[in-house]
Amino acid sequence: MKKIICIVSFFCIATFSAFSQGYRNPIISGMAPDPSVCRVGDDYYLVTSSFIQNPALPIYHSKDLINWKLINYAVTDENGLDLSKGEGMYAPTIRYNPHDSTFYVICTNVGGGQNFIVHSKHPDSTWSKPVWLTNPRMGIDPSLFFEDDGTCYMQCTGDNNIIQIMIDPKTGEEISSFHYLTDGLGGRYPEGPHMYKVGNYYYLMISEGGTEFGHHVNLFRSDDIWGPFMPAPNNPILSHVGKNAQSNPIQCTGHADMIQAHDGSWWMVFLATRPILWAFYPLGRETFLAPVEWKNGWLTVNGNGTVTEEMNVKTLPQNSEISISQRKNSVRVIYGFEHGISNDWNAYRVSPQTVATKVSEGIEIKASNDYDAFIGVRQLDYYMDAEIKLEIADWEGEAGICVHHDDGKRYNLALVRENGKAFIKSECLFNSVNQVQTIEIESKTHVVYLKINSQKELYKFYWKYDNSSKDNVWREIGQMDAHFLAGGFSGLLVGPYVKKGKATINWCSFKYY
């Protein structure tokens, strides 16, 4: 079987306004849920959930809390954590302990070993192998708090409540027994605990209401880290559940973490969604930012506990260096693959290097008998063009581009050759439903272009012949409702795939507006 030569280009449309004062939410667009943040000097580090994406637990760096650059992953093949089983990485927390100058990330690998800790002196370098916390009382959403003397406390969900224990973060050894902290304030699924010390008080922040439209954040405080904890008089401190935010384009606000900036100001990062037609958000849960103010020992978030897309507030001096995959200002970036696969790319369960290898022309993606081969980057906004150029030779197989939610939900657009014939195929895979449209094309043509066009609520599929031919017209071959790619915890990846055979990708081009 000969190779399929593929040239892929993506065009994602987003908007961004850069101010010396003010910023636009979300600060990390596309799938970036459950953010956690820490600071060392004027450097900020943030981690998010990644589920079954590999590499896992992306680590971002920023100088201003607004512009973030993807610098590493806390879990890769190098530190030996197996993502082939379970539901993946949920709700990590990142913390820095000045007593040993070490960064720690604690997370739950749901169904695949549960809670673990990795550590590193340098977040952009290799992280340690995982230390597993095997006590069955430990639920999801673990967090770490380092006391002034370096003592480490872990908070997590218990039996529909929040519990705490002292541990050694390097070994996982339990130093105390578990201690009950709170049941929350009556919302379902009290979760996402984080502990802070401000002045003479310990503050416990949790989320309740689930991670959907009832999501909100509550705050408690105590003069003892073991409690009892008193609820804030203005709870919930962050919520878009009420009437004052019912028409806000941002919803599902919750799972928050706080940080004091190097200028003394306070900020909160949290997940939220940008729904389409109210109840659906195919992009998944993204990372948002809000200012925090303290008064009389309690805090308010952005004045009234809600946020907007355009935040006209005083910020840290803004730094324009951000990750290619997170750019929202006008820019065009070309991936040449001369040096292999950059860290913007992900695969599912296996690493991108498992399904894609460096070759002289670029990278070669090869499918196996067990799974389709796919690598992708996060879809950053609802308005997007994704194009692929296929140079046709004498081969049989299937290769193209897809918008991928999970193994049961994806939209494919492909060139298929079988039995000496060539077809363009658009395909909607939605669990047990498989909707396919095909059109036969000239089997001897030299080049075919494919395009997936996203218009928020709709994906449209197009194809055409070589740009140099007389027949250079985009032809539509089906359209799919975006709602079928919504739901669950994950968001969307977009990229090339191979179902049969193998394909070589020379370069990819991304353009954001």
Specify if 321 maps to a domain. Answer: no
Contact 207, 217 (CB under 8 A): yes
* Beta carbons within 10 angstroms of residue 318's beta carbon: 17
Which of residues 282, 315, 348 is at a domain's end? 315
The pLDDT score that the predictor gives to residue 393 is: 61
Spatial neighbors of 368 by CB under 8 A, at least 6 apart, are none
Angle, vertex CA 192, rays to CA 186 and CA 196, nearest 5: 105
Secondary structure (3-state) at 320: coil
Q: Supply the pLDDT for residue 278.
A: 67
CA contacts within 13 A on the Cβ side of 379: 32
Looking at the structure, tell me whether residues 289 and 160 fall in a common domain.
yes
Task: Kindly report the pTM of this predicted structure.
Answer: 0.93
Instruction: Report the 10 Å Cβ neighbour count for 385.
Output: 17
Of 286, 315, 344, which residue is a domain's last? 315
Closest CA to 259 of 345, 196, 349, 186: 196
320 pLDDT above the threshold of 80: no
Whether 1 contacts 396, CB under 8 Å: yes
On whether both 370 and 304 belong to a single domain, the answer is: no
Q: Is residue 356 located within the same domain as residue 460?
A: yes
How would you classify the pairing of strands 201-208 and 238-239? unpaired
Per-residue pLDDT, 465:
82
Report the CATH number that the domain containing residue 471 is assigned in CATH.
2.60.120.200
List C-alpha distances in Å: 461 to 8, 57, 99, 371, 478.
Answer: 15, 32, 55, 24, 6
Structural domain that includes position 72: 29-315
Residue 471 has pLDDT above 90, yes or no: no
Which residues are known to be catalytic? 34, 191
Give the dihedral sign, CA 245/250/254/259: negative
Cα-based angle 87, 182, 150 (whole degrees, multiple of 5): 80
- Average pLDDT (161-182) is 97
Residue 265 pLDDT > 60, yes or no?
Answer: yes
User: Could you tell me the pLDDT band of residue 274, with boundaries at 50, 70 and 90?
Assistant: very high
Cα gap 485→504, rounded to integer Å: 27
Q: Are residues 341 and 301 in the same domain?
A: no
If pLDDT is split at 50, 70 and 90, which confidence band does 16 have? Answer: very low
Same domain for 277 and 141: yes
